[in-house]
Structure 1
Amino acid sequence: MKPWIWLRIAAALQAFGVVGHNVETLSTKPTHGPAEQAVFDAMRAFRFDLMGATRSTWDFYRGYQFSTTVTFVLLVTLLWMLSGMSRRAPEEAKPLVVALLIAQVFSVIIGFEFFFAAPGVVGALIALCLGIAAFGLYRVDKAMLTNRQRVSA
């Protein structure tokens, strides 16, 4: 398959991840019993001043959840746009794909280390798609270089 297709698949997988993340993020009711409720209550109760604002640990927890959603949606958009760019200008798309691949590999490690299997597995599939796309873009770039050499000879 062409690199742009792998990038679209990565975008679709990331969109799936956005949905999964939001299903859990939007639910603020404890599902694991009284111990979880106690943790949530403690997070809401502990308030502190930070740079002129009074916040709770819960505020940070929820804020990071929503910030992650925004970042995930941005990544879906970038992957989709990058798929089109990889068709028009593969030599320009290649370093961006590699940069996203490196970031994604670290995200996979973080997902498995600090969260649970689902984000790790979905992230690994996205990394695989990015790796295949990057390899394909290197092949396209090499073919374009060979063609340029033939034309100039």
Structure 2
Amino acid sequence: MRLDDLDERIVRVLAEDARRSYADIGAEVGLSAPAVKRRVDRLRDSGAIIGFTVQVDPTALGWSTEALVEVYCRGKTSPEDIHDALARFPEVASASTVTGEADAVVQVFAADVRHFERVLEKIAGLEFVDRTKSVLVLSPLLRRYAAPAQ
């Protein structure tokens, strides 16, 4: 589904704060509350909006160490196998297959460097993992969860 300008504006508002009321969103985008609800329902039905969730600052959970881990797999490992293995780790915030030499890039949050090291050892010990390469994040500079305003 291709989003029109109003849909994009509604999605952007929801991405900033999904708890805003339809009336509040409507006031910002120039629609009535019922019109916003109809559009949000249509966006959900079409799969353009796949859910609503809370974004938790990992430091609130005591996880102040962030790392990006490149995973290099043996043989032909399916994305599903990588997903299933990494989904078991609560420290894994995201994982994506990528182009280039690595097969996947994994975002990990941990309490400290020792905790990260234990998680890294578990990831490296997965049966399909040949090797890993990781970097610790010093300062996240920009995080976007929705399309930027045009």
Q: What is the TM-score when the length of structure 1 is the normalising length?
A: 0.26
Q: Which structure has the larger Rg?
A: 1
Larger relative contact order (CA 8 Å, sep ≥ 6):
1
Give the helix-richer structure, 1 or 2: 1
